[in-house]
Chains A and B, each alone.
Chain A
């Protein structure tokens, strides 16, 4: 069963198409929602939470209609906003337990769940401290804890690593991965950092200018290409010429000779030619696409 299904979902503001005709069916898993700043990521999340009404189109989240079943749907969905949203005068336990109750959990269950979720988020020791004294990383964890406390089936994370230092970023991404893989909760994580997507996500939604560029498993984006990358220490143009003479389709980029493949890679021929020329061979590797390649393509030429 898909976690999100939308047809022609649009949100227009005066003079801006924040989201335009989005039709998508998202499968469970850890889904990266990627796009430049202003691409429409936050708008999409807010639409799917029923926080803002769509201009056109419709969508269901976990089978609930976003337009008519908002409160019911939101009992089963968590949301970690990008911006600061913590009442700093409260301690984490009180705040997270209160949020659990606002999600419909009974009072005792809310307190138990608050403790468990704060433990999961790594704030167990600090749970009775006022959040005013928390570091940015701890505040991000508290924000994640409130999004998880009611045990949602789907969680929307809006830039969860915002403002974190590299160590905090690593911890947060580990926490996201453990939440998704360990607890089996589906996550849709908006970010503009491709490295984060590659680290934790198994699916990817790419939007740009409010339009869907691509949706699919992450492996599709990083699959091996039909290009063999031969890196040598020097004299790559000479190696290129020699390989061309053997009938290969070759381009040279700095110290790299890129060989277009048509069938089995000619490893032996390349090794022998490099030895003949007396060059140092750094690597022979079939190239993988990176997410950056996707954004190097002009939006209209991308794999829509």
Chain B
């Protein structure tokens, strides 16, 4: 059979298969199939509860609804909507004007709607609550000092927590994001003429600091249930410094045709949730630890008088599904970065061995990379590579270089001089010496460097959770945010187990990679 006739037969078979597949796909669409609707939400409780509401409302309208919860931050959620990976998610007007459309000078709702329409996105009217920044302090302390408005703080200048100068001075502690946002503390302190003594700390730790009295004033979100739970008082923004963060729904314009009933159901939320209600809903989830789906369903049935089926709290199923997804993502981060590092680091190690003038440069260079803090590397890579997996992979790649380069160099360098000469006097050229003698003899050391890199990578890859790369870092970040150790464990325990598994896997691999003679020799010498 010649090649041409073989190709012709292959092509005709492929055509048959394609035809059958196409028919199979077309067949069911002739009857009216329920529309498929994907709802997204960002990685915090309020967004997830609203996402659950949208999902339940879409199901009630007959759609096949799916909730892709906890997509990370604004950038990820909005770009997913723009690309059509999700059909809707809850957003805030302040975020739209300041962040998403920040470069377009939008002011009014009409401006926003017009700007969104250019991307095929529509915006609902306001749902009824404003989740803005506010400054908060313990109610008892505020009442004692007669502080009701932010401008009242001028009578109580902030103090550097470390100076501890006067006991009457208030200690200001703000979330790191608030400390650094232009519309956060830097702008606020100027607008109100407050002294700028304040320290940054994690938002979740701020509440603990307020309770213990370590700090007196912090930034809060106005719908945080902790405000009530910790007996705090939000101070009035009397100069109207903070922008409004009114909650709205963003959805793809084509839904009006694709699933008009779904949109109609969603818009029933307009004006239906006021601030006290949202605070209660958040409290049900964050403080009473009720599953977000139930919180959403009970609200829809109770307040909106609907009859949606409240989903069962399939917590364990969610844990397992998340575990599977996180494991896959984590493995991807580790494997891709490790493979790239092997491809680069082994030749670098060989170069350091073969080319003494380059040795210091190579070994020193990868050594310096290792000393950079992982957060700093990640943040440096963000503008270059965007959000998601790539910056994480790039950071892991950089950290993997040192152990592999160093062990490749060391393994080659410790080959006894008489054996190197033995290979030379046999008449083997440099390349043959490398492949037949030097690399096999250094294989144990090289493999051990790769193992070190892999084990470190499994742990370090958890920083990817910060920037939407997924993996075991995701539950660690979520758990830290919710102050929920059980969620943190869902990332920490599998990460530790994976590190152990990687270690075991490499010990197994040694049997195949390291030549038998070396293993026998090592067994004898120990």
- Does A pair with B? no
